[in-house]
Structures are given as C-alpha cells and as structure tokens.
Amino acid sequence: MKKNTFADFAICMAKEYEPFRRRIMERFSLSAAEVDVLMFLANNPEYNTAAQVSKIRMIPKSHVSLAVNSLSEKGLLIRKSGENRKSVCLIPSESAAPVIAFGREMQDAFQEALFLGFSAEEKAMFDTLHEKMRKNLENTKKS
C-alpha cells in the first residue's frame, strides 16, 4: 500500500460515514458525541465505563462526560455502580432501543455502501486481512 493510501482511506471513510450518523442525530435530536457513545455502548457491552469509551473510541473524556450526562437526562442511558463501587457502568436503557435500532440500520447501510461490488470471497478476505492487522497491532503494544 502506498504511503498515504491507508490514511487517505481512513479519512475518506470517516467523512463518508458522517451523513449516516447525521441521520441518527437529526431523527433523535442527539449530538455527534451522544450518538457515538450510545452506539459504542450498544455494540460493545463489554466496554461499559466512560473511561473505556474515551480510550477505545479516542473521544476526549470531557466529551464523553457531557454525552453521558445528556444521555442520562434524556433517559437513554442508565448509570449503575460497578462491582468495585469506584466505577460506574453505563447501560443503554430500553428507551434507547429505537435509537440503537435505527443506528444499526445506518451502520449496516454504510457497510453495504462500503462493500458495494465486493464478492463474498473478497469480503471474507477483507475480514481475514483485517484480523491479521489487528493482531499485528496487538503485538506492537507488547514490544
């Protein structure tokens, strides 16, 4: 891959996802951070603290905090004391179900657009290569 091709791809992908996210924002009167936090929690229930959301999604802690407060006030997020009582687990509420369902529709639509023209074999190859890259990244952390 050429030097800037991957970076260009990542930037382009983020830019092209924006209209899909905007539809969620407009339909439910949510900010970008609120959509990102809520969808992350819905799609990754094993990461359920504000610190984890901030670290993994690379969203500033202050933005996550504001989004969590707002989502809680809107009844879309439940805060539950963690096992060690120092952390607070964030759980999407039942009221968030329509937002999450529509959000997943938008994520699926974006994925369909992204893989338009790909054969099943090409999609499988992408998954294989993506997993190899993820493992390589994990190994760089250990070095």
DSSP of 50-69, one letter per residue? HHHHHHHHT--HHHHHHHHH
CB distance 31 to 25 below 8 Å: yes
CB distance 23 to 110 below 8 Å: no
> Could you tell me the fold of the domain covering 5-115?
Arc Repressor Mutant, subunit A (1.10.10)
pLDDT tens-place values along the chain, 143 residues long: 566 788 898 899 999 999 999 999 999 999 999 999 999 999 999 999 999 999 999 999 999 999 999 999 999 999 998 677 678 999 999 999 999 999 999 999 999 999 999 999 999 999 999 999 989 988 887 76
pTM of the shown model = 0.87
Number of alpha carbons in the 13 Å side-chain half-sphere of residue 113: 11
Query: Rounded distance, CA 93 to CA 73, Å?
Result: 12
Domain definitions of the chain by residue range: 5-115
Query: Rounded distance, CA 19 to CA 99, Å?
Result: 16
